[in-house]
Every structure is written in C-alpha cells, then in structure tokens.
C-alpha cells in the first residue's frame, strides 16, 4: 500500500480555453491526515477538490487514489458540499443513507447505518425531519453523516462551514476533529479561513492566485492535546496563523 | 384563514345575487335567473343525453391530458438538459404555447376526421406546451450541486433523472399540469364545438342554436366549476411540495 491515500500529478485545468484555473499541480495526501487547500478566492482550490472527486475532468495530469488512477467518482471518496446539497424532499434518514441507496444497499441495512452516523454527528431524534426544518449547522451535519455513511477512505470537504454562523462553526470544527480521530479518514479540506485551516489541519497547502499552483506546504506541529480553547490560545497556533497570513498577504491587492 | 376566505365567498354571493336580479328583471334575454340555471343543471344531470355527452367529453379530455403529460414531461426534461434540443425545439414550443390553436382545429379535422380523435388531438395540442415549458423551467432550476452530489455518490445517469431531477423539478411540473388541465378543458370544448357533432360541443351547439339559455348557462357553469375544482385539486398537490421549491435557493 502506498503511504499516500491520494496523489495528484501534473493537474492543469482551464475554463473555456482562456482562464487557467490550475497549473501543473502535483501533490500527495498522506493517509490518515487532514490536509487543507488554502488560498485566495479564485485560486482554483474547489476546482482541484472536484477534480480529485472525479466531478471535473482535468485538461492534463492524473489523480491516483490508493495508487490507482481514477477518472470519475468512486466509492473510496465521499464529498461534503459547501451548500450541503441535501434533497429537500427527503428526510434526514434518507439523505444520510442516500449514498448507500445508490449502491443498492437494502433499505433496512442502510437505515441502520444511517442511524448510527446520525447519532455520531449529534442529530439523534432528527431522523424524520426534513432539511428545511434544520438550521444550517445541522444541515451540514447531515451532509457529513452522509459522507461518513458510505465508509469511504477519503473525505473531500468543500468549504463545509462557510455557510454556517461563527459560533456553530467553532463547535462543528471541534466535533469534526473528534469524529475524525475515531474514524481514521484521510481528509482533503478546502477553506479560505486561515484560522480554520490551522486549527483543523495536519498539513496546509497554500495555493497561489490564478492560475493556481502550489506555493507552499506547511506542516502544523503544535500540541493538540489541550482543550480547543487552549489550542486557539497556544503560541504555536497563533504563530502558524501569522506565518500563513504573511505569505498570503502578497496575493491581496 | 377564515377571514381571508370570507371576502372571496361573499363576492361570489354578491355576483350571484346580481345575476339573479338581472335574470328576474328580464333585462337581457340571454340571462335567465341563476337559480333557474342551477335547477336546470340538476335536471340535466338526470338526462341520458347529458350523461352520454359528459362521458364522451370526459374520455377525450382524460386521454388528451394524459397524452399531453406523458409527451410534455419528457420533452421538457430533454429541453431542460440538452442545449441542442432546447435550441432546436424552443422556438416552436414557445410559438405553440402562445398561438391561437383554435385556427388549427379545422386542419386537424381533415387529418383525423370528424370524431373523438380530432378532439383528443386538440386537447393534447392545447395542453402539452405549457407542460413542456414548465417542466423545462423546473429542470433548469435544479441546483447543480444536487446533481453533483448524486454523481459524487455514484449515481448512474438514470438514477440522477429518477431520484434527483424529477423530484427537484416536481413543483414546476405540477404547476405545468395544473395550467395544462385548464387549457385541456378549453381544448375539449373548442374541439367538440368545431367538430360539433359529439359530446358537450354537440349540446352547446344544440342549446345555443335553439336559444335554450338555461341549459346553455347550466352547461357553461358546470364546465367552469369543473375547471376550477380540477385546478384547485392540483393546486393542493402543489402546496404539498412547494416547501422544497422555496428551500432550493
């Protein structure tokens, strides 16, 4: 087994033959780590994530998952969407089980699995509610449970907390870290928030402005054993945030 | 709820009273009193010719609307998903949706004869375009991320249509069917009037030629009620799904 859950090699992508979104991106995503793609808006980080998901075809380059080349979506990867992408006509239970439903898992079995993950993300009791009855934060918990329910090795998260208010986001980040510690997933996480990236990640990939290319990879190395509030006050955490801010500042007008 | 309904009902009552007064005063020869019209309607319901005419018309209506739905929805989905199909068909669908189709009925008679087939085709022609247009609009409004979500979780092309696109577009599809229903009522009456030897069209022709105004109005009122009740029933269905039209963003 390769040590990397996901590798991208020489990925380039342009839109309409004119706007180059990504230029020659080569990256590895180590197994069991949370890697953040961080960069200014329009740097193509979401495009890169969707290429890894198999939702967008690159113009050049290849994506390897578990050492095997992939050209489309596959069961080893699950996606968490920025706008949640829940089916408004379906209950929480059906939404969470939807990935399994598409795979033809029998109803009873997929509902058992769905219930387990609904509990894990803290939505016990909301199984039969509809998305419009939930708050933004709860909706994204449904999105996360859906991604966990298919038992994919790699979870791709596209700015999952950007449509959620600040307090909810912090709580959600803490819960996410806890969940991932249990589930041992490889996570690729897109965000434009430096604090979020530093707080959540093992590695942070800084992308330059369009056309996006890898400008720097930073490994966070501060002590995570403390409480979330201690981490957010720790000097190493604050230093990393500051370091990234200094690097990203050059891309701002 | 009750308060907001009251004005509607009381205005109906007011107009009904006005109709009754005009009829009683014998101001206009073509307006008999409303109560007599209603009584006539009750009497008509018991006659064999009326029942036969209604059932002939209902069959044409139902068949035509059914065909309009099974043709209209797939065509609308196709236009919503495939740009080439949209460009190829869009112009014609829009022309037919707003054209005075009554003018085409004589040509249909040449093609399909003086029978129910012509009426059914007329109903289809009246109802189908709005169903196509509304379905197309519904499909176009489906959030792209829902489709992406289904693909990311391994949905086949067919599953995307069956499990995502159809349900996401359902509010607009139902609105199209409701409007199609109303147009189909027009279609069946106009078709039968022009063919003029079958169903309600025959009765309309008979009543108006012989100046049987009570019967004429009874029939007209009955049709209005049918169209209103039918579209209200579909409206109820729409309300059941509209929460997610609003939540699609």
- Above 80 in pLDDT, residue B196? no
- Above 70 in pLDDT, residue B34? yes
ipTM over 0.85: yes
Phi, psi of A7 (to 5 degrees): -130, 140
Q: Would you place residue B174 in the very low, low, confident or very high pLDDT band (cuts 50, 70, 90)? A: very high
Nearest to B145 among A74, A75, A81 (CB): A81
- Above 50 in pLDDT, residue B249? no
Q: What is the mean pLDDT of chain A?
A: 88
Contacts of A206 (CB under 8 A, 6+ apart): A38, A39, A214, A215, A216, A217, A218, A244, A247, A248
Which element (helix H / strand E) includes B244? helix B213-246
Q: What is the mean pLDDT of residues B208-212?
A: 86
- Above 60 in pLDDT, residue B246? no
Give the lowest-confidence range in A175-184, B3-12, B209-218. B3-12
Residue with structure tokens 């004869």? B113
How many helical (H) and strand (E) elements, i.e. helices and strands, does chain A have?
A: 9, 10
Q: What is the pLDDT of residue A238?
A: 87
Which residues does chain A have within 8 Å of residue B170's beta carbon, measured at their own beta carbons? Answer: 89
What are the residues of chain B with a beta carbon less than 8 Å away from any beta carbon of chain A?
143, 145-146, 148-155, 159, 163-164, 167-168, 170, 241, 243-244, 246-249
Which residues does chain B have within 8 Å of residue A98's beta carbon, measured at their own beta carbons? Answer: 150, 153
Q: Is A6 helix (H, G, I), strand (E, B) or coil?
A: strand
Nearest to A102 among B159, B244, B246 (CB): B159
Q: What is the pLDDT of residue B166?
A: 92
Cβ–Cβ below 8 Å for B148 and A102:
no
Cβ–Cβ below 8 Å for A98 and B153:
yes
pLDDT tens profile A130-161? 998 898 889 999 999 999 999 989 999 999 98
Cβ–Cβ below 8 Å for B244 and A132:
yes
The count of CB pairs under 8 A between chains A and B is: 65
Distance from CA of B184 to the nearest CA of A (A): 29
Q: Are A24 and A172 in contact (CB under 8 A)?
A: no
- Above 70 in pLDDT, residue B4? no
Cβ–Cβ below 8 Å for B153 and A55:
no
d(CA B109, CA B240): 40
Q: What is the pLDDT of residue B5?
A: 60
- Using CA coordinates, name the residue in chain A closest to B152: A73
- Above 90 in pLDDT, residue A113? yes
Cβ–Cβ below 8 Å for B146 and A74:
no
Torsion sign (Cα): B176, B177, B178, B181: positive
């Amino acid at each position: 087994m390769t040590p990397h859950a996901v590798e991208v090699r020489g990925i380039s992508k342009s839109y309409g033959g004119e706007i180059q979104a990504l230029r020659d991106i080569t990256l590895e995503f180590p197994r069991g780590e949370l890697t953040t793609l961080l960069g200014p808006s329009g740097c193509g980080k979401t495009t890169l994530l969707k290429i890894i998901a198999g939702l967008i075809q690159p113009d050049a380059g290849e994506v390897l998952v578990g050492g095997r080349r992939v050209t489309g979506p596959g069961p080893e990867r699950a996606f968490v969407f920025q706008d949640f992408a829940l089916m408004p006509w379906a209950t929480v239970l059906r939404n969470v089980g939807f990935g399994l439903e598409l795979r033809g898992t029998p109803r009873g079995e997929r509902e058992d699995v769905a219930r387990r993950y609904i509990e894990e993300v803290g939505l016990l009791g909301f199984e039969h509610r509809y998305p419009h009855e939930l708050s933004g934060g709860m909706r994204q918990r449904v999105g996360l449970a859906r991604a966990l329910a298919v038992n994919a090795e790699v979870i791709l998260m596209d700015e999952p907390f950007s449509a959620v208010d600040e307090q909810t986001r912090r709580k959600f980040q803490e819960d996410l870290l806890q969940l991932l510690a249990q589930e041992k997933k490889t996570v690729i996480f897109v965000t434009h928030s430096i604090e979020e990236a530093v707080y959540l990640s093992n590695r942070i990939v800084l992308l330059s402005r369009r056309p996006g290319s890898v400008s720097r990879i930073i490994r966070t190395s501060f002590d995570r054993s403390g409480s979330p509030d201690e981490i957010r006050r720790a000097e190493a955490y604050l230093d990393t945030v500051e370091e990234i801010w200094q690097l990203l500042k050059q891309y701002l007008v | 709820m009750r308060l907001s309904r009251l004005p509607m009902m009381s205005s109906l009552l007011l107009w009904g009273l006005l109709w009754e007064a005009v009829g009683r005063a014998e101001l206009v020869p073509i307006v008999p009193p409303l109560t007599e019209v209603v009584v006539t309607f009750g009497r008509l319901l018991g006659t064999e010719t009326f029942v036969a005419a209604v059932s002939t018309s209902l069959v044409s209506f139902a068949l035509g609307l059914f065909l309009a739905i099974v043709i209209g929805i797939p065509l609308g989905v196709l236009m919503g998903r495939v740009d080439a199909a949209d460009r190829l068909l869009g112009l014609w669908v829009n022309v037919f949706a707003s054209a005075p189709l009554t003018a085409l009925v004589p040509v249909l008679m040449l093609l399909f004869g003086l029978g129910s087939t012509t009426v059914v085709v007329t109903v289809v022609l009246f109802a189908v375009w709005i169903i196509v247009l509304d379905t197309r609009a519904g499909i176009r409004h489906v959030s792209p991320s829902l489709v992406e979500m289904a693909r990311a979780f391994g949905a086949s092309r067919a599953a995307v249509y069956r499990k995502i696109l159809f349900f996401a577009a359902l509010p607009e599809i139902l609105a199209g069917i409701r409007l199609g229903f109303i147009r189909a009522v027009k279609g069946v009456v106009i078709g039968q009037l022009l063919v003029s030897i079958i169903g309600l069209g025959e009765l309309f022709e008979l009543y108006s030629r012989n100046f049987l105004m009570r019967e004429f109005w009874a029939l007209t009122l009955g049709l209005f009620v049918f169209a209103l009740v039918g579209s209200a029933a579909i409206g109820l269905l729409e309300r059941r799904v509209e929460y997610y039209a609003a939540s699609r963003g």
